[in-house]
Amino acid sequence: MITTVCLNPAIDRSISIAEFTYGGMNRVKSVRNDAGGKGVNVAVTLARLGLETQCISFLHKNGGKEIENRLLTDGVKSAGVWLDGTLRTNIKLLDMSKNVVTEINESGAAVSESDLQKMNDMIARYAQESDFLVLSGSLPPGCPADYYRTIIESLEGTSCRCVLDADGAKLTEGLKAKPYLIKPNQYELELLVGRPLSSLDDIKGAALDLIDRGISIVAVSMGGDGAMITDGTQCIYAPRLNVEVRSTVGAGDAMIAGLTAGCLAELPLEEIFVKGVACATASVMTEGTQLIEKAAYKSLIPEVEFKLI
């Protein structure tokens, strides 16, 4: 069983405009609304890969049912701490002329200490029946920056392994608890180590430094430059696949799902990596915030090329 945690779910509103005019009139070509958030996206992607998955989230009285329904539609078990207030909306604005997405994300409703304690208790219960706990995405107002660290530390000594996909202070603090797997992108890794990483060797070195700090697996996504992964024994690189990129929104969530699925199956590192790369690639082939199609994912598996570095 894989459990994902989504502390700050949202409605992702994808708006397509033929050619965006800053400060001027823009006419909308199409609009799509999807209930989401990183933890929700990871859970749904895992379910589409055929895995038993559940998602724990903060659910708002105004809009929370949309998150529940989104999960249940794909067969994901949903559990949550209910909050007053309204589910936040994240706008993904696509300029079709440049194929560039601008994101405008709301912060979300604040949570209290009582809300966080309820969430702590729920995570502890669900972790008892889980092989992996995936912690990903932003934190709502009122949630301390070291919350992911607190959760990981609370599971020390259990059989549940933690996957962390976060940035900034959330990642810096979370690393202190030594999660099993992390997946920063290149920019997030640069911020973490405090220096530019201008070559694959630089990225490899930074990833190995994190292995030395107690992380079991470090994967780094590099956008158009591909991705790499290491467990300290092997370092593997894969270039990006030559596919039509329709949207990069959610690609990181898809990679986390593929990597975690591979870890759950106790696959060799290269097979774990192939699953992650194929999932991320299948994601960029979809429009807006739509998630992967299993058929596309399966067709990409044999196309992934990789080499030891």
Q: Record the pTM.
A: 0.92
Q: Look at strands 132-136 and 217-221 and give their pairing.
A: unpaired
**What local confidence, expressed as pLDDT, does residue 249 receive?**
75
Look up the CATH number of the domain holding residue 124.
Answer: 3.40.1190.20
For residue 224, give its domain range. Answer: 2-308
Distance CA 21, CA 32 (A): 20
pLDDT at 289: 63
Tokens of 297: 């994912």
Count of domains forming the chain: 1
Give the pLDDT score at 288: 61
- From start to end of the chain, where are the E strands? 2-6, 10-17, 28-36, 53-62, 77-86, 88-95, 100-105, 132-136, 161-165, 181-182, 217-221, 227-230, 235-238, 307-308
In total, the chain counts a number of residues equal to 309
At 119, the amino acid letter reads M
Q: Which residues of the chain have pLDDT under 70?
A: 288-289
Catalytically annotated residues: 253
Q: How far apart are CA 203 and CA 235, in angstroms?
A: 11
- C-alpha span between 236 and 18 (Å, rounded): 39
The pLDDT assigned to 242 comes to: 86
